Structure 1
Amino acid sequence: MQEIKEKYFEGERALYGLSNTILKNVTFGEGESPLKETKDLEIKATIFKYKYPLWYSNNINITDAIFETMSRSGIWYTDNISIKNSNLQAPKLFRRCKNITLDHIFFSNAEETMWTCEDITIKNTEINGDYFGKDSSNIYMENVRVIGNYVFDGAKNIVCKNCSFVSKDAFWNCENVTLINCQIDGEYLSWNSSHITFKDCTIESDQGLCYMDYVTLENCILNQTPLAFEKCSNIKATINSKITSIKNPISGIIKAKKIETVIIDPTKVDPKATKIIFIEPVDREVSVSDQNQEGE
């Protein structure tokens, strides 16, 4: 492989079509699309200052890089890309990309980032910004912190381990999601999603977990989560804490240490289709039928 070291480039398409090259201590200044349609690149300790640096590229490995704020919309239509130990300041990075690996990344502004991408692995990363991961699929995350609303709207086939999310409307319209040992804080969690599982998670969400099908909670804690499970079907929930309130679940089993309020409107749902198991007494506005409640 050829090597380009300690260079400064500016102007449109500065290294268009470059291949089989190591770039080290390079700075790309003002000028759009400096590495458009490139392939087989090793990029080390490089700074991207302007728009669209990597479009239609393939087989790109990046370490110790900086994508500054104006390198927005930086990585689109690019496949087989790995980025490690890097700071990504620009919004709208990653669109319609495949086979993405990120490790030890800091996204200072991940607004509208990682849209319609496939086969994504993210580890040891901090993400800040709204609308991360929209309509993406086949995602694995471990030791990732996300602060930003509407994360993974419309995404599918997601596994998250040891992650935290501070996000309103997180995991909306999703399919096939598993969260393990995660912390989630934000209103209206997971509406309109199906086949979603929470294992050993701590959740705080005003009106969270509603309008869902096949929702499972195993060994979870719900802190201050009122009006949960509205219009949810096929519920399988074991909650190791109290539930503030539940409202009009369609079907399934809900087990909790205590449920402060149960709201069931028999004109909207069948009270017999949801089995509620509790340990401590329930205060209720409208109760499910006695035969569906079991004390322990």
Structure 2
Amino acid sequence: MELIKDREFGGERPLFESHDLRLEHVIIRAGESAIKECSNIEAVNCRFEGNYPFWHVHGFLIDRCYFDVGGRSALWYSDHLKMTDTVIDAPKMFREMSEIEIENVTMNDADEVFWRCNGIRVRNLVLHGGTYPFMFSRDIRVDGLESDSKYVFQYVRNVEIHNARITTKDAFWEVDNVTIYDSELNGEYLGWHSRNLRLVNCHITGEQPLCYARDLVLENCTFGPDCDRAFEYSTLRADIRGAITNIKNPMSGSIVADEIGSVTIDRNIKAPADCEIRLRDGRACVYDKPDER
């Protein structure tokens, strides 16, 4: 493997079509497509300031590197990437990629990152700012995520998430086959129009969670007091620990909780309208509008 160390490059495609190359303490200055149409590349302790440095790259390692704001859209149309201990200040990273391994990475402008990617493995990722991370991606496994980005994980499928703290709005919309373990999900309108969404040992806050969901499962989950109008038009099986403020018009399935503030079943409920709702100790639930049941 050829070694390039302690050098700077700029301009258009300075390392175009390189193969079997290791970069150490290299700075990519302003320019475009520095490392394009390449394979078997290692970048260690490097700094990227120019646009689009890694496009159409096959098999590469990025370790202890930094992507400046100018290094936007840095990783597209590539595969078999391992990225470790890296800080990214540029938006629109990771597009149309496959087989991505991420560990100990911080992204300070997570706008439109991880779009249309598949085969993503994440361990300890921080996402700040931006919108729509992970949209249209699939086959994702996450262990350790902290995110305050908006609209995360929309239109994804085949996802498993552990130990996440997500503060957002409209998260997990239109998802298919997603399981979330031991996580905190904060924000309005969680999981609308989802299919096969399963939450295990999770804490949920925010208004109108989990509506229009199909085959929703909750196991040993807790809810904040602001979670009202939950489960509207959803089919589900839910085991809720503690209290939930309000349940509204679930379609079918079963809900059991330690405490339920109120249940709204009105004339707008959709068939089959046969969801079983009960308190764990057998007490009767309080209905908002029993005359319209």
Q: Is the 8 A contact 1:135 1:155 kept in 2?
A: yes
Residue matched to 2:200: 199
Residue matched to 1:52: 52
* Alignment partners' CA distance in 2, 1:80 and 1:267: 50
* Alignment partners' CA distance in 2, 1:266 and 1:119: 45
- In the TM superposition, what is the alpha-carbon distance from 1:266 to its structure 2 partner? 4.0
Q: Is the 8 A contact 1:22 1:42 kept in 2?
A: yes
Q: 1:248 to 1:28 in 2, by over 3 A?
A: same
Q: 1:206 to 1:84 in 2, by over 3 A?
A: same
Q: Is the 8 A contact 2:250 2:273 kept in 1?
A: no
- In the TM superposition, what is the alpha-carbon distance from 1:277 to its structure 2 partner? 1.3
Residue matched to 1:229: 231
Name the TM-score, length of structure 1 as normaliser: 0.95
Q: Is the 8 A contact 2:76 2:97 kept in 1?
A: yes
Residue matched to 2:149: 148
Match of 1:48, as an amino acid?
A: F
Question: Is structure 2 residue 18 aligned with structure 1 residue 15?
Answer: no
* Alignment partners' CA distance in 1, 2:121 and 2:287: 44
Q: 1:223 to 1:288 in 2, by over 3 A?
A: farther
Listed as ranges, the gaps of 5+ residues in structure 1 are 291-296
- In the TM superposition, what is the alpha-carbon distance from 1:17 to its structure 2 partner? 0.6
**Deviation readout 1:172-228 (Å, 9 max, x if unpaired):** 010000000010000000101100000000111210100010000000001121000
Q: Is the 8 A contact 2:278 2:284 kept in 1?
A: no
Which of 275, 287, 293 lines up with 1:284 in the alignment? 287
Residue matched to 1:25: 25
Q: How does 1:1-296 map to 2 (within 5 A)?
A: 1-129=1-129, 130-224=131-225, 225-233=227-235, 235-270=236-271, 273-278=274-279, 279=281, 281-287=284-290
SS in 2 for 1:57: strand
Match of 2:48, as an amino acid?
A: F
- In the TM superposition, what is the alpha-carbon distance from 1:288 to its structure 2 partner? 9.5
Residue matched to 1:293: none
SS in 2 for 1:151: coil
Q: Is the 8 A contact 2:251 2:273 kept in 1?
A: no
Q: 1:8 to 1:268 in 2, by over 3 A?
A: same
Q: 1:44 to 1:140 in 2, by over 3 A?
A: same
Match of 1:74, as an amino acid?
A: A
Aligned-pair Cα RMSD in Å = 1.5
**Deviation readout 1:102-147 (Å, 9 max, x if unpaired):** 0000101111110000000111121113210000000000011111
Q: 1:288 to 1:134 in 2, by over 3 A?
A: farther
Q: Is the 8 A contact 2:249 2:273 kept in 1?
A: no
Q: 1:240 to 1:133 in 2, by over 3 A?
A: same
Q: Is the 8 A contact 1:264 1:271 kept in 2?
A: no
Match of 2:210, as an amino acid?
A: L
* Alignment partners' CA distance in 2, 1:287 and 1:95: 51
Of residues 257-266 and 201-210 in structure 1, the stretch that sits farther from structure 2 once superposed is 257-266
- In the TM superposition, what is the alpha-carbon distance from 1:149 to its structure 2 partner? 1.0
- Calculate percent identity across the aligned residue pairs: 32
